[in-house]
Amino acid sequence: MTDRKNSFNTIGLIGKFADNTVGSTLLALSRILKERGCTVYLERETSRNMGEHDLEIITRHEIGKRCDLAVTVGGDGTLLDAARGLVDFEVPLLGINLGRLGFLVDISPNEMSERINEILDGEFEEEHRILLNTVIEHGDNPASESDAFNDVVVHKWEVARMIETETYINGKFLNSMRSDGLIVSTPTGSTAYALSGGGPILEPDMDAMVLVPICPHTMSYRPIVIAGDSVIEIIVKENQNSHAQVTCDGQINLGVVSGDKITIKKKEKVVRLIHPRQHNHYEILRAKLHWGEHF
**Taking the CB of residue 147, how many other CB atoms lie within 10 A of it?**
20
Q: Which residues are catalytic?
A: 76
Is the domain of 97 the same as that of 115?
Answer: yes
Q: What is the pLDDT of residues 55-86, one digit of tens each?
A: 999 999 999 999 999 999 999 999 999 999 99
Amino acid 219: pLDDT: 86
DSSP letter for each residue of 73-125: EE-HHHHHHHHHHHGGGT--EEEEE-SS--SS--B-GGGHHHHHHHHHTT-EE
Q: Model-level pTM?
A: 0.93
DSSP letter for each residue of 4-51: PPPS--EEEEEE-TT-GGGHHHHHHHHHHHHHTT-EEEEEHHHHTT--
Is the domain of 156 the same as that of 257?
Answer: yes
Q: What is the pLDDT of residues 122-131, one digit of tens each?
A: 999 999 999 9
Q: Burial level of 249, CB count in 10 A (0-12/13-18/19+)?
A: buried
Q: What CA–CA distance (Å, rounded) separates 286 from 288?
A: 6
Is the domain of 140 the same as that of 77?
Answer: no
The residue type of 242 is S
Q: What is the pLDDT of residues 265-288, one digit of tens each?
A: 999 999 999 999 989 999 999 988
Is the domain of 255 the same as that of 227?
Answer: yes
The domain that contains 106 carries what CATH number?
A: 3.40.50.10330
Percent residues over pLDDT 70 in the chain: 96
Is the residue at 145 inside a domain? yes
Is the residue at 262 inside a domain? yes
Is the residue at 2 inside a domain? no
Is the domain of 160 the same as that of 244?
Answer: yes
Q: What CA–CA distance (Å, rounded) separates 204 from 170?
A: 23
Is the residue at 295 inside a domain? no
Is the residue at 275 inside a domain? yes
Is the domain of 110 the same as that of 152?
Answer: no
Is the domain of 121 the same as that of 81?
Answer: yes
Arithmetic mean of pLDDT, 175-199: 96
Is the domain of 136 the same as that of 262?
Answer: yes
- Chain centre to alpha carbon of residue 246: 16
**Taking the CB of residue 178, how many other CB atoms lie within 10 A of it?**
17
Is the domain of 226 the same as that of 239?
Answer: yes
Q: What is the pLDDT of residues 210-255, one digit of tens each?
A: 999 999 998 899 999 999 999 999 999 876 656 789 999 999 999 9
pLDDT tops 80 at residue 160: no
Q: What CA–CA distance (Å, rounded) separates 227 from 293?
A: 34
Do residues 80 and 105 lie in contact, with contact meaning Cβ atoms separated by under 8 Å? Answer: no
- Residue 162: which of 102, 216, 124, 113 has the closest Cα? 216
**Taking the CB of residue 17, how many other CB atoms lie within 10 A of it?**
15
Q: What CA–CA distance (Å, rounded) separates 206 from 194?
A: 16
Is the residue at 208 inside a domain? yes
Domain that holds residue 239: 132-266
Is the residue at 280 inside a domain? yes
Is the domain of 208 the same as that of 233?
Answer: yes
The domain that contains 258 carries what CATH number?
A: 2.60.200.30
Backbone angles phi, psi at 86, to 5 degrees: -115, -5
Q: What is the pLDDT of residues 99-137, one digit of tens each?
A: 777 799 989 999 999 999 999 999 999 999 999 999 999
Number of domains in the chain: 2
Is the domain of 279 the same as that of 253?
Answer: no
Is the domain of 126 the same as that of 136?
Answer: no
Is the residue at 24 inside a domain? yes
Amino acid 1: pLDDT: 43
Arithmetic mean of pLDDT, 176-182: 94
Nearest 5 degrees, angle CA 32-CA 30-CA 124?
A: 60
